[in-house]
Amino acid sequence: MTLIKSISGIRGTIGGATGDNLTPIDAVKFAASYGTWLKSYSGKNKLKVVIGRDARLSGEMIQNLVVSTLVGLGIEVVDLGLSTTPTVEIAVPLEKADGGIILTASHNPKQWNALKLLNEKGEFLDAKQGAIILELAEKEDFDFAEVDDLGSVTKNDAYIDVHIDEVLNLSLINADKIRKKRFKVVVDGVNSTGGIAIPKLLKELGVEVVELYCDPTGHFPHNPEPLKEHLGDICDLVIKEKADFGIVVDPDVDRLAFISNDGEMFGEEYTLVACADYVLGETKGNTVSNLSSSRALRDITEKHGGTYNAAAVGEVNVVIKMKETNAVIGGEGNGGIIYPASHYGRDSLVGTALFLMLMAEKGGTVAELRASYPSYFMSKKKIQLTPELDVDAILSAMAKKYENEDISTIDGVKIDFPENWVHLRKSNTEPIIRIYTEAKSQQAADTLADSIIGEIKAVAGI
């Protein structure tokens, strides 16, 4: 059982001992820390916070605890009930709220849950703000409201519909053009809130929807991370139904993966590539992804005359870099689409609509579209080190060894070679170096990773 405290929130497994897992006491403590920080940060006497959750089994329990804690601090709560991460992000500014909390462990299995924390813009807190909240949680120095000053709860379950309307109103989305194509799409909602939101959006766009695991019971029918090894059912159903493609989302609907018409994975890395291809074809500009994302985005961006920039891993870092470079689209290679014309958060509803527009404009099949993009292959490995080894010193030595290459040290060590790249990152919790490589064949990616692992071992003397 596990409890992970980080600047982006608190995440853990349900049950077990306080402080070691996400127990009711831990949920209350971190909700109180967030509410206490928000009072100080906003400088207001009366605050409003938007709360929504995915469909996981512990969601209602955790939500009741968090909502009651905020009410106890004198905060007004807008309860969206079953929702998605991007829906809560959109709701915060629309409600003129001071912040938001999303109760979801994203792609983690059903025993996990988490509190993801937002600011008044509906964006994730930065590192400094997150650190203050962790410090408050350690001190447990909370000042709760007296009885006449308790907060209140307003329920509003219409925000998924509001979110869909926001997507349909985006200037690059032509609903009539999509409707004329009469697409047929299979949707795997992993029995969470994507099973509500994605089919609703598709039906508004005139798409024939075949629903698979779209009942939001929280009983995930497979590992909820949208990876190839977990998605055999939808791959088979796309072929059986003769669908144009399939859509897979994670439980909180901020990661988006497509299945091509031939039942093969389109590739999570290529979700962003395809959406960027459409946006850049309509709006000239720049793009951003994190250092561990595919080089294919850079290729597509330069093809359209834009400039690509890389950010440290983590959504908040990508958003910061997007704002710095005025990027028109960005995200992460795990299927996270960030489209600033909507909001600065990963959004599978926006990504779905952009992809449908691309298919409506280009014609042909999804498999043909995938074949038209630069083809890259990734390898993801790790090396376990002994606790006494200085991981930072090892990474510095690797950076020094390759100082004549195109190198970045903003997040570990990223080395860009002409034909491939390697990204080395250390774990924050254990003596591990993660090795990500990309090349033009799987064999080349694996060979590069193995070669770098050998070099790290030589540097470390193991």
**DSSP assignments along 78-126, one per residue:** EEEEE--HHHHHHHHHHTT-SEEEEE--TTS-TTEEEEEEE-TTS-B--
Tally Cβ neighbours within 10 Å of residue 415. Answer: 21
**pLDDT of 216:** 98
Active-site amino acid positions? 106
**pLDDT of 461:** 81
- Looking only at the bridges linking them, the beta strands covering 256-259 and 245-249 are antiparallel
Nearest of 58, 98, 113, 103 to residue 83 by alpha carbon: 103
Residues 307-336: pLDDT tens digits?
999 999 999 999 999 999 999 999 999 899
**Position 417 pLDDT exceeds 90:** yes
> What is the rounded distance in angstroms from the CA atom of residue 121 to the CA atom of residue 127?
16
> What is the rounded distance in angstroms from the CA atom of residue 404 to the CA atom of residue 380?
24
Residue 113 tokens read as 């849950």
Nearest of 227, 171, 161, 198 to residue 351 by alpha carbon: 198
Residue 300 tokens read as 């597509």
Residues 265-313: pLDDT tens digits?
999 999 999 999 999 999 999 999 999 999 999 999 999 999 999 999 9
**Position 1 pLDDT exceeds 80:** no
Q: Chain centroid to CA 359: how far?
A: 23
Token look-up 């170096």 returns 433
Residues 24-60: pLDDT tens digits?
999 999 999 999 999 999 888 899 999 999 999 999 9
> What is the rounded distance in angstroms from the CA atom of residue 111 to the CA atom of residue 343?
30
Under the banding of pLDDT at 50, 70 and 90, the label for residue 386 is confident
> What is the rounded distance in angstroms from the CA atom of residue 433 to the CA atom of residue 435?
6
pTM: 0.94
> What is the rounded distance in angstroms from the CA atom of residue 186 to the CA atom of residue 174?
21
**Position 66 pLDDT exceeds 60:** yes
Question: What is the rounded average pLDDT of the residues 411-419?
Answer: 95
